[in-house]
């Protein structure tokens, strides 16, 4: 039985980790299922993807599996995790993380692979790898970009968990709400995304991904190319006309 559920209504794809009894720990089978769900959802061209976990978001990589790995199998295991996270980062649509319970270790890397996030106020976050004799790798490399080098070092060297308020303060999550309001807050963010140009959002996501790997001057030139590409479609004119219509209605009070 797959440990990942994919649901779609056309505009919104929902990917849910369902290994609840194991805190949605990512073993090899779950990692493959996650990557396949992300890839399959991309083929259907949704406007937005919501990623969540049943019970908790994700408690990290599966230590039960990892403790028996040799060096060769360990590389295979970690590359599999990276491929799943990369599929999320390269998905054409914005991916919104709905974080309940915990995002720890690989679960935190899963979180920062997403584009936007909403967390319950009782969720915890952290990189506990130092406590099990491991460095944090693969998408942990995003953390200095997300929270800055000093805070990334605190998370990665000490391995201490932080609460949702602190995670929001340092920029690890975008929004924190009471646990009872989490689904409603995610739905509100999704609705905001659905009102925007899907072409522009897809271009912006691709640009942000490239900015992480380019010097400033090359990042600027990449942006110019994307700006030109946007005007090769009808999206800018369509959205600008909508903007003026909204402004006219607001001015007229209708």
Q: Which of 150-164, 200-214, 224-238 has the lowest mean pLDDT?
A: 224-238
147 Cβ contact list (under 8 Å, min separation 6): 155, 170, 171, 172
**Claim to verify: residue 62 and residue 147 sit in the same structural domain:** yes
Model pTM score: 0.90
What number is the average pLDDT over the span 96-117? Answer: 99
pLDDT value for 253? 67
In the predicted model, what is the mean pLDDT of residues 58-74? 95
How many angstroms separate the CA atoms of 178 and 80, rounded? 34
Strand order in the sheet with 48-53: 4-8, 12-17, 48-53, 95-99, 116-120, 175-177
Task: With beta carbons less than 8 A apart as the criterion, state whether 63 and 132 touch.
Answer: yes
- Look at residue 124 and tell me whether its pLDDT is greater than 70: yes
Mean pLDDT of 231-250: 80
Higher pLDDT, 254 or 203: 203
> Hey, what are 38's tokens?
């992300």
* Band of residue 237 on the pLDDT scale cut at 50, 70, 90: confident
Closest CA relative to residue 103, chosen from 20, 24, 33, 31? 24
Q: 45-54: per-residue pLDDT in tens?
A: 999 999 999 9
Domain count, the chain: 2
pLDDT-based confidence at residue 252 (cuts at 50, 70, 90): confident
| 163 and 243 together in one domain | no
**Of residues 37 and 233, more confidently modeled:** 37
pLDDT at 229: 79
Query: In terms of domains, do 104 and 227 share one?
Result: no
Q: What is the pLDDT of residues 20-58, one digit of tens each?
A: 999 999 999 999 999 999 999 999 999 999 999 999 999
Domain enclosing residue 107, as ranges: 4-194
How far apart (Å, rounded) are the C-alpha atoms in residues 113 and 44? 20
Which has the higher per-residue pLDDT, 211 or 220?
A: 211
Mean pLDDT for the chain overall: 94
Please check whether residues 235 and 111 belong to one and the same domain.
no
State the average pLDDT over residues 185-203.
97
Residues 23 and 96 in one domain: yes
CATH number for the domain harbouring residue 135: 3.90.226.10
Q: Are residues 37 and 71 in the same domain?
A: yes
Q: Are residues 88 and 135 in the same domain?
A: yes
Q: Are residues 49 and 164 in the same domain?
A: yes
Residue pair 30/19 in contact (Cβ under 8 Å)? The answer is yes
Examine the pLDDT at 152 and tell me if it is beyond 80: yes
208 and 166 in a common domain: no
For position 24, what pLDDT does the model report?
98
Cβ neighbours of residue 38 under 8 Å, at least 6 residues apart? 15, 49, 84, 87, 88, 91
**What pLDDT is recorded for position 60?**
97
Residue with tokens 């406007």: 47
More confident residue, 148 or 217: 148
| Interval 68-106: pLDDT, tens | 999 999 999 999 999 999 999 999 999 999 999 999 999
- Say if residue 240's pLDDT is above 80: no
């Amino acid at each position: 039985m797959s440990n990942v559920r994919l649901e779609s209504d056309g505009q919104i794809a929902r990917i849910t980790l369902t290994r609840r009894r194991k805190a949605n720990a990512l073993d090899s089978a779950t990692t493959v299922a996650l990557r396949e769900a992300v890839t399959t959802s991309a083929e259907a061209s949704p406007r937005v993807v919501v990623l969540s976990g049943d019970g908790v978001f994700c408690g990290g990589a599966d230590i039960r599996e990892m403790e028996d790995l040799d060096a060769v199998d360990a590389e295979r295991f970690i590359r599999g995790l990276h491929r799943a996270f990369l599929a999320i980062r390269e998905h054409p649509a914005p991916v919104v993380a709905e974080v309940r319970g915990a995002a720890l270790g690989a679960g935190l890397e899963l979180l920062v692979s997403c584009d936007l996030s909403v967390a319950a106020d009782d969720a915890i976050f952290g990189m506990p790898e130092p406590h099990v004799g491991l460095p944090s790798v693969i998408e942990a490399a995003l953390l200095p970009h997300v929270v800055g080098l000093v805070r990334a070092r605190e998370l990665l060297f000490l391995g201490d968990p932080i609460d949702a308020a602190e995670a929001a303060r340092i920029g690890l999550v975008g929004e924190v709400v009471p646990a009872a309001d989490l689904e409603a807050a995610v739905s509100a963010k999704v609705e905001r995304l659905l009102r925007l140009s899907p072409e522009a959002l897809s271009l912006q996501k691709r640009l942000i991904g490239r900015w992480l790997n380019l010097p400033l001057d090359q990042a600027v030139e990449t942006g110019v190319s994307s700006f030109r590409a946007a005007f090769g479609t009808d999206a800018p004119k369509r959205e600008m006309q909508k903007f003026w219509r909204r402004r006219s209605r607001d001015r007229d009070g209708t």
